[in-house]
Amino acid sequence: MLRPFLMMLMAGSPVLAGDLAFVTAQNGDALVVVDLETGTIVAQADIPDAPAPVAYDPQAGLVYVIAADTGRLHVLDEDAQALAHRDMDAGAFGLAAGGGAVFVTDWYGARLTRLDADLRPVWTAPTGDAPAGVAIDGMGLVATADRDADQVSIFDAATGALLHRVATAGAHPFGVTFHDGRLFSADVMGDVVSVIDPVAGRLTGRVATGGHPYAVAFAAGRGFVTDQYDGTVTVFDAATLAPVATVTVGDYPEGIATLPDGSGVAVANWDSDTLVVLDAATLTVTRIIDMPSGPRAFGRFTGRQGRW
């Protein structure tokens, strides 16, 4: 049960302000907590069996991590202290959290499960084959990137009812992100981002990217896409979808997340073993932070500490 841990944590731990990143290092079997203002590692937890997906819920002050080799879901606080865990199926992969709910995709089982705050299942719904990323819009929708079905599935977050299945512009969607009423998927085998109207359930646009786009984040009116094979981030105008720039960030960038103040994005470079901060206005890398081996950070991994 998670709730007793939360009660003890809230009663006994001082909460400090600060902008943090929670970075999973898959090869290093670790979760690293980074102070984004100073660029320093302030905490670290050992998590065995290849931790990769991560979701931070700033309202709850909790970090969720999945060990990719076993499917174990770990729950930690902002100081990387373990609170609870739940053994999911071996295919557990994509993670999203917020509003007292946790959403987990099952790659092998082709399904999405919603858990409550105590990690108890609320509902399970079928997806397309090999669901990877999952995203919530905060207004009642949840979407999965069904990689091997070349589609996204959109559900009612409260009930799990299927609302739409939408074919993507490119093959093998992986990371999905809601932004400004639209849904964006990075289609790794199509070198494109699909733009979808999640209410109407239809494809409305596309953005060309670099090689093997992995995930999408937004800051200062711009979209940012990690291009795994090119070591770059593709930048586009979030409103018009027009290309803006391509920025070199490091080797094999994967996870990307908006900074808490909206001024830029943080990017995890798997082969460079770094976390970089990219300014959204100047499109320059303002900080490079060394990480344990294989930083992946697939999911929402940044936030302002202490928002209980």
The structural domains of the chain, with segments of one domain joined by +, span: 3-304
Higher pLDDT, 39 or 10: 39
Query: CA 85, CA 62: separation in Å to the nearest integer?
Result: 12
**pLDDT for 11 beyond 50:** no
DSSP 237-273: ETTT--EEEEEE--SSEEEEEE-TTSSEEEEEETTTT
Between strands 62-67 and 51-57, the pairing is antiparallel
The token duo for 43 is 């905490």
295 beta partners: 25
Under 8 Å CB-to-CB from 86, ≥6 apart: which residues? 72, 73, 115, 119
Alpha carbon of 253 to those of 77, 182, 228, 230, 305: distances in Å? 26, 24, 5, 9, 25
- Contacts of the segment 1-8: beta carbons below 8 A, 24+ positions apart: 1/84, 1/118, 2/75, 2/83, 2/84, 2/117, 2/118, 2/119, 3/117, 3/118, 5/75, 5/83, 5/84, 6/60, 6/62, 6/83, 6/117
Homologous superfamily (CATH) of 3-304 is YVTN repeat-like/Quinoprotein amine dehydrogenase (2.130.10.10)
Mean pLDDT of the chain: 93
pLDDT digits (tens, 9 = 90+) for 72-96: 999 999 999 999 999 999 999 999 9
In this structure, what DSSP letter does residue 295 have?
B
Q: Which residue has the tokens 């799990």?
A: 160
pLDDT digits (tens, 9 = 90+) for 252-299: 999 999 999 999 999 999 999 999 999 999 999 999 999 999 999 999
